[in-house]
Amino acid sequence: MVKNSLITPRFIFTRLALFIVVFNAAIFYQPNWIYKTFYYNPRWVDDAWWSLNYWAFLLVYALLLVAFVEFIIRFIKKRA
């Protein structure tokens, strides 16, 4: 069995800490264009057949941002 030297407890802790910081930052701060385009837009909200409260919007935005950061990290590691 070959041990991957890149996956260490420190690496896992660092990645997890980064994701916690990104998630919390996304919950407490959203760019104005994201809020106005995806949540506050009355035309989009009125046409939707479902309703989304603000906390659900924040959760979806935070999870998508964490996934995007993970994609960027993997892309950079693959290209570097």
- Is 3 inside a domain boundary? no
- Is 36 inside a domain boundary? yes
- Is 2 inside a domain boundary? no
- Full residue range of the structural domain in which residue 45 is found: 9-79
- Is 43 inside a domain boundary? yes
* Closest-CA residue to 25 (of 80, 65, 68): 65
Model confidence at 1: pLDDT above 60: no
Give me the pLDDT at residue 17, please.
93
Residues 8-66: tens digit of each pLDDT: 777 788 889 999 999 999 988 888 877 777 777 666 656 666 667 778 888 989 999 99
- Is 1 inside a domain boundary? no
Instruction: Read off the amino acid at residue 13.
Output: F
**What's the structural domain count of the chain?**
1
- Is 4 inside a domain boundary? no
- Is 65 inside a domain boundary? yes
- Is 38 inside a domain boundary? yes
Give me the pLDDT at residue 6, please.
64
Quote the tokens at residue 12.
Answer: 């896992």
Give me the pLDDT at residue 65, please.
94
Give me the pLDDT at residue 8, please.
75
